[in-house]
Structure 1
Amino acid sequence: MNDIVGGPNPTNIPIAMANFTAQSPTYFGMIAAMDDLSTARPRPNSEIVGRAQGLFGATSLEEIGLYMTFSFVFTSGNIMPYWTQPFFNEHRELPIVGCSGVYRLGHGSALLNTVSYDSALGDDVVQYNVVVLHY
């Protein structure tokens, strides 16, 4: 998943924030939309296999922690993970609680690994290793 915050074509944009958010080092109170490219390898120029589309909110006063709800949109079906995560943990895990399309009734988990993060721009590349069980 390639998350682009800066530049002329961002894939992640704030859509609402509280007055307090501007003073918060954790962006607490911000809600954003995302439409990130998903690639076969953790490189922006790798083969595109789909998109990660959804919403997230900054939900922690102590660290940058995001509550996210989004769909991985692939040609073969959609996977919808929901979780709260400490953003700067290098390794993270999330549950897959719902799926659609060919993955209907599926569930599973995903292990996340931050491959790169540009603190000046806010852009990042996150590798997802996903296991989905379905009927």
Structure 2
Amino acid sequence: MNRRTFIKIAGSAAALPSAAVAIGNSPMRAHCSTNAVRVVVDAALEESVALARKAILAGAHAVELRCDIAALWYTELASEPAMILGVLRPSDAFVLKRLVKGAGRSVIETISNERAVALTIVDARVHARAPR
């Protein structure tokens, strides 16, 4: 990991507590609390572990990527209307982005290099139900 990538990921992770406070003070609180945030952890990537540590401190629930991202999507992530964060290998990010878009969710790719891709996945169903 180069210095630039580390700083970007650390900055994203540092923003999580602020995001949790903003969500806690918003009218969407009942629909989008930190309990509704999942962070996918690839233990082989130090960037993923660092993001997960910060997200857990902010109240997110960690989900470990053991081998197959598609299996993880269908068994643990697809059925929950949660925000999903993660730093994944490019191959896993590619597959997850296709699955997510097919399920009607939005994907924001914040950092990408040959080693890792940082993703935020938002469920439009949560935002559609939020009070206005």
Q: TM-score, normalised by structure 2?
A: 0.32
**More strand per residue:** 1
